[in-house]
Structure 1
Amino acid sequence: MENAKIENIIVKFLINQASASELTELEIWIQDPDNKELFDQYVKINYVIEYNMKEFDSSKIKSKLLEAFAIEKKVKKRKKFRKLIYYSAAAVFFGILTMGYFNRTSFFKQPEGIPVIVNNVIKAGTDKAILTLEDGSNVLLEKDKTYEKDNVVSNGKELVCGKNQGKSGLVYNYLTIPRGGQFQIKLSDGTNVWLNSESKLKFPVAFIEGSPREVELIYGEAFFDVSPSTEHKGAKFKVVNKNQEVEVLGTEFNIKAYKDEDKIYTTLIEGKVAVSDFSSKKHLVPNQQSIINLKNGNITINPIDAYNEVLWTKGIFSFKSKTLKEIMNVMSRWYDVQVVFQNTELEKVKFNGVLSKNDDIKEILTIIKKTNFINEYEIKDQKIIIK
């Protein structure tokens, strides 16, 4: 099989667009002994994800990949397969695939290029947050460090609030995730929230039983797994922002509302939500995304692979038809760096692929460099210059 064709099928498989015949073709190609050496070399050079694996093992990855093929052909329902990827260790098959796939890119070609200039080391983000209490005092929450006071407990990765209360009066705290951080919180009603880098959430330490439940995503990105209203005397759940309101009955959804972006994205995984910009309201069904344009106030609804949008909660960044500028915006928040493009045309290059949130930024940049779209990159302090 031609390399270009294999590359295309692998990428389509990565983003869940490969047909049954293409999956069969890829399976046969991998099982052919003549391709074993090429496959092993390809994996060792290009893999960037080590999901649920302690060390690299190409034979183990191949086994997992073939298992994924078998599951795909047996189920024959792409939605169910995507959910399997999202919830289980079958997501390991992402491990064989390179971070980048650009137009005219060849995975198997290893081009020569100008040596990369690196002046220092930039570390990947980690679990950390700042908890602001009602009295205005701040508590630094860090990985592997515990904290407990009044109605909240942290294990260094997640903040857990006590159960709902039956009396009136709400006490609000804030959870701020800095650049280069991430954190989880379990609200008093049992709702779980994952907060991405550069995000801030206002929440009550305890909801009032039977009353509407409301939190505010002041800015940033958060994934919500909401405790059903049936378990809370019918109390609805709302997530507000200065530019929108999302009302739910019990569901899973993602909101992205960063300060430096002029659009708010709400993606529905399961259940039902109503998105309002305070002048009009739109209802979403699973695998739909609403986009509020803050410049003109328009709300649009688009179909989307919703599970792909929330893989960041599982330690994976997944990109589908994203520009290099959009990707670097995500990287800048997670690695807490500034990214500068010397050639602004590079900002428009489209990309499909996945990468681990634990990867070294140099590995990511080196893979992009191998596409021949950039000549070199330079790291100075906390700034990345793409040339």
Structure 2
Amino acid sequence: MQTSRFSELFEGYLANTLTPKEMLELEQLIVDEQNDAQLRQLIGQEFKTVPTTGEQLNGEDNWLQGLEQKVLQTIQKPKPTKIISFHSKWIRLVGAIVLLAGLGFTIHYLINNDASAPKQATVLPGGNKATIRLDDGTQVNLSESQSEIVLGQKLAYADGSLVQGLAAENVSGQNMVIDVPKGGMYKIALPDGSKVWLNADSRLRYIADPTAEIRTLELEGEAYFEVAHRYLTKGKEKILQPFVVHTPGQTIKVLGTSFNVTAYSGEPDRTTLVEGKVELSLPDGSNKQYLKPNQQATIRGRTITIAEVESLGYVSWKEGTFNFSDESLEIILNQVARWYDIDVDYEDASLKKLKFEGIVPRYKNMETLLKILEKTGDVRFELKGRRLHVKKK
């Protein structure tokens, strides 16, 4: 990556002019530890431009105060409604930029500056975990050293090595379920060339029938789909084979597109379209709706609501980041609980409605994320074992 491009994206971030695609590009660069030195240099250059009054800034606390002043000059004003927002505070830079790169003394400040805060146990992020189960009852754990399974006549990983414990004759023609537990994720390559990224606490049922007129999957949880075009011959005609995803709350029909589906029990179903076009309806086929790119359908009961969104923010989980946009604390901590495999309870139900915005990495220890939420909101956390207690400050 050329220095000029990193600098260009960094300046665009401070000026709040990046497109969603450019924001994801910047996130990926920042997560790469090879870019730490360059990021330090860029932040240092920004700090030198901070206008100061009174004493010359020095020391860690003054450095952060100066950075706050600079960032507050470069971002939009907060929305009129009360939203606790990473982007409307100086944490926009420190939380979404410095933390991603892991700059030591600043992280130390954010995590340890409050000496009265209770020390949290270390909770590590998730990784590559999944099991695959055939209709005949055969089940095996997929390798944690691999990240992608390729479905076909044989079951293999992306590097070509075979899945141990499954003979080829047992696989051919069988339906199968890929189950990703809490604290896991896995990528799946389907026989037709389509790709599926399966998030934590999710299950995908694959119907193995290459002659069927419709490609069918069943999903519980969250997955991102990149659907390949596939044609069937009917007489002298070639027809484009539909791709259908069933969840407990909806049916999604696509021809060739990229989209994200969230279908966890207790939460509204969400379908977010990145590219292409999808048709969705309730499970009985009623209330048919169509999505365009950067639209999201939310299903509550029998009501489907469509809204304009920045779709890339809803798929950044597969690139290694949490991306929250005016999201409730309940939804945020539901994601955290699935990824870090913990349980959550609330001192007061009103805390669930607090709103946050921000971008933080999924591959940091959980304490990093919790401290950022504490610094930017009226909430504090106590972790006992694998149970997170959410309390008012």
TM-score, structure 1 length as denominator?
A: 0.69
Shift of 1:242: 3.0
d(CA) in 1 for partners of 2:134, 2:117: 45
Mapped contact 1:159–1:185 kept (Cα < 8 A): no
Q: Is the 8 A contact 1:274 1:282 kept in 2?
A: yes
Contact persistence 1:213–1:235 (CA under 8 A): yes
Residue 256 of structure 1 corresponds to 262
Pair 1:386 & 2:393 matched: no
One-letter amino acid of the structure 1 residue matched with residue 85 of structure 2: Y
Deviation at 1:145, TM superposition (A): 5.5
Partner of 2:85: 101
Opposite residue 290 of structure 2, the aligned amino acid is H
Please point out which of 178, 202, 207 is paired with 1:199: 202
Matches of 2:174 and 2:363, distance apart in 1: 36
Contact kept, 8 Å, 1:159 with 1:186, in 2: the verdict is no
CA distance in 2, matches of 1:281, 1:127: 36
Q: Distance in 1 between matches of 2:124 and 2:353?
A: 26
**Of 129-138 and 248-257, the range deviating more from structure 2:** 129-138
Calculate percent identity across the aligned residue pairs.
30
Alpha carbons of 1:372 and 1:320: their partners in 2 closer, same or farther (altered >3 Å)? closer
- Partner Cα separation in structure 1 for residue 353 and residue 28 of structure 2: 23
Of 36, 47, 50, which aligns to 1:56?
36
The 2-side partners of 1:50 and 1:279 are apart by 45
CA distance in 2, matches of 1:320, 1:123: 24
Aligned counterparts of 2:331 and 2:346: Cα–Cα separation in 1: 12
Name the SS of the counterpart of 2:135 in structure 1: coil
Structure 1 residue 128, shift from structure 2 partner: 0.6
Shift of 1:299: 1.2
Determine if contact 1:319/1:327 at 8 Å carries over to the other structure. Answer: yes
* Equivalence for 2:182: 179
Tell me the number of residue pairs that the alignment of Structure 1 and Structure 2 aligns. Answer: 307
Measured in 1, the distance between the counterparts of 2:231 and 2:40 equals 44
Residue correspondence of structure 1 range 226-241 to structure 2 within 5 A: 226-230=227-231, 233=238, 234-241=240-247
d(CA) in 2 for partners of 1:337, 1:158? 33
Give the AA of the match of 1:383: R
Give the corresponding residue for 2:142: 141
Work out which of the residue numbers 147, 150, 154 in structure 2 matches 1:151.
154
Change (3 A) 1:264 1:61: farther
Contact residue 128 and residue 156 of structure 1 kept, 8 A: no
1:322 matched to 2:322? The reply is: no
- For CA contacts below 8 A with separation 6 or more, give which structure has more relative contact order: 1
SS of the equivalent of 1:332 reads helix
Q: What displacement does 1:115 show?
A: 2.8
Contact 1:144 1:155 in 2 (8 A): no
Letter in 2 for 1:351: F
CA RMSD of aligned residues (A): 3.9
Give unpaired runs (5+ residues) of structure 2: 1-12, 47-74, 76-83, 95-105, 164-171
For the 8 Å contact 1:11–1:101, the answer to whether it is kept is no
SS in 1 for 2:339: helix
Partner of 1:363: 368
Q: Which residue of 2 aligns with 1:224?
A: 225
Give 2:252's match in structure 1, choosing from 232, 246, 249: 246
In 1, Cα distance between equivalents of 2:41 and 2:295: 32
Normalised TM-score (structure 2): 0.68
Q: 1:313 maps to which residue?
A: 318
Q: What displacement does 1:207 show? A: 4.0
Residue equivalent to 2:359: 354
**Paired residue type of 1:267:** T
Aligned to 1:213: 215
Displacement after TM superposition at 1:209 (Å) = 4.5
Instruction: Give the Cα–Cα distance (whole angstroms) in 1 for the partners of residues 375 and 161 of structure 2.
Output: 38
Give 2:32's aligned amino acid.
Answer: N
Question: Which of 224-233 and 174-183 deviates more?
Answer: 224-233
Distance 1:327 1:11 in 2: 26
Q: Helix, strand or coil for the counterpart of 1:117?
A: coil
Offset of 1:126 from its aligned partner? 0.4
User: C-alpha displacement at 1:55, in angstroms?
Assistant: 6.1
SS in 2 for 1:269: strand
CA offset digits 1:250-283 (Å, max 9, x no partner) = 111111100121x111111111110010222111
Secondary structure of 1:118's counterpart equals coil
For 2:116, the aligned partner's letter is P
Q: How far did residue 16 of structure 1 move?
A: 5.4
Q: Report the AA paired with residue 366 of structure 2.
A: I
1:92 — aligned with what?
none
1:157–1:348 Cα change, 3 Å: farther
Alpha-carbon shift at residue 171 of structure 1 (Å): 2.0
Equivalents in 2 of 1:308, 1:230: separation in Å? 32
Q: Distance in 2 between matches of 1:231 and 1:52?
A: 43
Conserved? CA contact 2:249–2:263, under 8 Å? no
How far the C-alpha of 1:185 sits from its partner, in A, is 0.4
Structure 1 residue 118: deviation in Å?
3.4
Shift of 1:190: 0.5
